[in-house]
């Protein structure tokens, strides 16, 4: 069964450093998403991406964040200058359609720890 | 997106049906009801979705009231592996697939 994969599973970084979280969505999917979950809190939407541009983003997704689909398979989330409060589990998801017709498939997540 | 209300926690005996309720009284006509679950700290997993008709798949059944203001997710024969947080999410309209997760219902299945 096709699945979304994410690397690394755990990333530890120093405050102020840049990190890139990587995701490989399901191959025929066209819509891509990033969510995050701070420990003990709700899963929060960050951004949706389609046709090489951002479709929607939350207020969390400020100028420190960016997304990119550098090739035909990877989808990345970059945090330019990490803060302590960026420590969270980051989930990538993909779907055939943005809503209604198909479900979003989530990856296993990358746990980001900012020291 | 319309807000949803779910009980904080529920228990169920293994092998019995688990019925998880959700209220979404402000749902609009073009919004769908989705159910996802999250086992421990894994990525959320899609279960089922519907607009106004009842739906069934290999995992669960979704019963939506006629006025669409509430729904019930039914796991017909709960197993220990169904212990998870279950999220009822209303999504659609102009949102590009954005899912707004609440706190969900913690379902504990007991032996």
pLDDT in tens, A28-72: 898 999 999 999 999 999 999 998 999 999 999 999 999 999 887
Pairing status of strand A10-13 against strand A110-114: parallel
| Closest alpha carbon within chain B to A91 | B43
- For B98, the closest of A48, A91, A105 (CB atoms) is A48
- In this structure, are residues A94 and A67 in contact, taking their beta carbons and an 8 Å threshold? no
Q: B92 and chain A: CB distance < 8 Å anywhere?
A: yes
- For B32, the closest of A93, A99, A108 (CB atoms) is A99
> Which class for B30: exposed (0-12), middle (13-18), buried (19 or more C-beta within 10 A)?
exposed
Interchain CB distance below 8 Å, B98 and A45: yes
In angstroms, the Cα distances linking A50 to A67, B22, B108, B109 are 11, 31, 37, 39
Residues with Cβ < 8 Å from B67, sequence gap 6 or more? none
> Which class for B38: exposed (0-12), middle (13-18), buried (19 or more C-beta within 10 A)?
buried
Interface test with B, best of A23, A46, A100, A105 (most B CBs within 10 A): A100
Ranges of residues in chain B whose predicted pLDDT is under 70? 1-2, 93-96
Bridge partner list, B48: B35
Give ∠ CA A52-A55-A60 in degrees, rounded to 5: 115
Question: Phi and psi for A74 in degrees, rounded to 5?
Answer: -90, 150
Amino acid B93: pLDDT? 66
Q: B101 and chain A: CB distance < 8 Å anywhere?
A: yes
Q: Report d(CA B86, CA A43) in Å as an integer.
A: 12
Amino acid A98: pLDDT? 64
Amino acid A66: pLDDT? 97
Amino acid A17: pLDDT? 97
Amino acid A96: pLDDT? 86
Interchain CB distance below 8 Å, B95 and A33: no
Distance from the B36 Cα atom to the nearest Cα atom in chain A, whole angstroms:
9
Which residues of chain B neighbour A55 with C-beta distances below 8 Å?
A: 96-97
Task: Please give the helix or strand (H or E) that residue A7 lies within, else none.
Answer: strand A5-7
- In this structure, are residues B98 and A45 in contact, taking their beta carbons and an 8 Å threshold? yes
SS3 label, residue B94: coil
In angstroms, the Cα distances linking B58 to B47, B66, B106 are 9, 23, 21
| Closest alpha carbon within chain A to B31 | A100
Interchain CB distance below 8 Å, A104 and B41: no
Interchain CB distance below 8 Å, A109 and B42: yes
| Closest alpha carbon within chain A to B39 | A108
pLDDT band at A2 (very low <50, low <70, confident <90, very high): confident
In angstroms, the Cα distances linking B94 to A98, B1, B48 are 10, 9, 21
Amino acid A80: pLDDT? 96
Question: Phi and psi for A35 in degrees, rounded to 5?
Answer: -130, 160
pLDDT in tens, A60-107: 999 999 999 988 789 999 999 999 999 999 999 999 876 555 589 999
């Amino acid at each position: 069964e096709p699945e979304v994969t994410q690397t690394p599973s755990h990333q530890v970084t120093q405050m102020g450093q840049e990190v890139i979280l990587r995701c490989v969505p399901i191959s025929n999917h066209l819509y891509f998403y990033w969510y995050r979950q701070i420990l003990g809190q709700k899963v929060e939407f960050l951004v949706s991406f389609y046709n090489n541009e951002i479709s929607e983003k939350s207020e969390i997704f400020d100028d420190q964040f960016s997304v990119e689909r550098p090739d035909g398979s990877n989808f990345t989330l970059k945090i330019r200058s990490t803060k302590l409060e960026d420590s969270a589990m980051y989930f990538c998801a993909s779907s055939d359609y943005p809503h209604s017709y198909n479900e979003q498939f989530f990856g296993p997540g990358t746990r980001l720890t900012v020291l | 997106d319309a807000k949803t209300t779910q009980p904080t926690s529920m228990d169920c005996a293994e092998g019995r049906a688990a019925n998880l309720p959700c209220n979404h009284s402000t749902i609009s006509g073009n919004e769908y009801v989705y159910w996802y679950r999250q086992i421990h700290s894994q990525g959320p997993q899609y279960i089922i979705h519907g607009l106004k008709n009842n739906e069934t798949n290999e995992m669960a059944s979704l019963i939506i009231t006629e006025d669409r203001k509430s729904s019930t997710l039914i796991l017909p024969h709960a197993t220990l592996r169904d212990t998870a947080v279950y999220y009822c999410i209303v999504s659609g309209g102009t949102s590009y697939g954005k899912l707004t997760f609440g706190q969900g219902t913690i379902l504990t299945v007991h032996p």
